Amino acid sequence: MDVIPAIDLLKGRCVRLYQGDYDQSQVFSENPVEVAKAWEAQGAQWLHLVDLDGAKTGQPVNLDTIAAVVEALEIPVQVGGGLRDRNRVTQLLNLGVKRGILGTIAIENPDLVQELCQEFPDQIVVGIDAREGRVATRGWLETSEILAIDLAKRMVTAGAAAIIYTDIQRDGTMKGPNIPMLREMAEAITIPVIASGGVSSITDLLNLLALEAIGVTGAIVGKALYTEDIALSEALRAVGPGRWQDVPPDLGSSALA
């Protein structure tokens, strides 16, 4: 399972929100590039970037910072926030971003999502952010009547490479992911599901690992890394490639050797 560090950008700074509330933001760093390089140095295989200003305004705002992060890293970067038309998506991918994360337009313009999936195969991921199972849009400022699982099924048909599911009521709370909802979604669709929101411990990651067989292939971790409740290197050893349980023990001169 991939453990994917998250960097949320607000006015060029690395922040975390509480339950998606822009008025409850905590600044963790003034230098997102250095934060990104630190996660890569600790073994991250992907980086997750969210342009919070873009999600709120409807168009990418932190493009210079995103470009600087992509330029500084060797690992792939996925980016969401404000990608609501073809030009914005194309602009972002041209910066070297590996995957664009579409959210609001999955509801407001699903035909465009399908076109983009065909135009950029394996590079379009749909982010489904939900409150009590219903999809939120426009930087989590609005909540629709559409069920998250119904939207996920439509996005499979559209050709999305994966679904990133965020439980807004868990995001930034350190209360653990919504395991029942992630299980339900993974069982309902045929593309990978990446969990987001609430991951606060290695135990949470191990609980998610139990869902890997049904399609939960990754976990995005934000606040817990910044507060050091989770050490990325330990998380990767616990659930990543070559995880503890998959590595034969060094028995040395033991009678069991």
Per the residue annotation, which of 53, 129, 171, 204 is the catalytic one? 129
Residues with Cβ within 8 Å of residue 115, at least 6 apart in sequence: 86
Active site residue 129: yes
User: C-alpha dihedral over 204, 206, 212, 218, to 10 degrees?
Assistant: 60
User: C-alpha dihedral over 237, 97, 9, 43, to 10 degrees?
Assistant: 20
User: How many Cβ atoms from other residues are within 10 Å of residue 206's Cβ?
Assistant: 15
Per the residue annotation, which of 8, 51, 167, 204 is the catalytic one? 8
Buried b or exposed e, range 84-95, using 16+ CB within 10 angstroms? beeebbebbbeb
Active site residue 8: yes
DSSP 1: -
Q: Among 23, 54, 56, 50, which Cα is nearest to 139's?
A: 56
> Counting Cβ atoms within 10 Å, is residue 186 exposed (0-12), middle (13-18) or buried (19+)?
buried
CA distances from 124 to 115, 117, 157, 243 (A): 10, 6, 13, 28
Active site residues: 8, 129
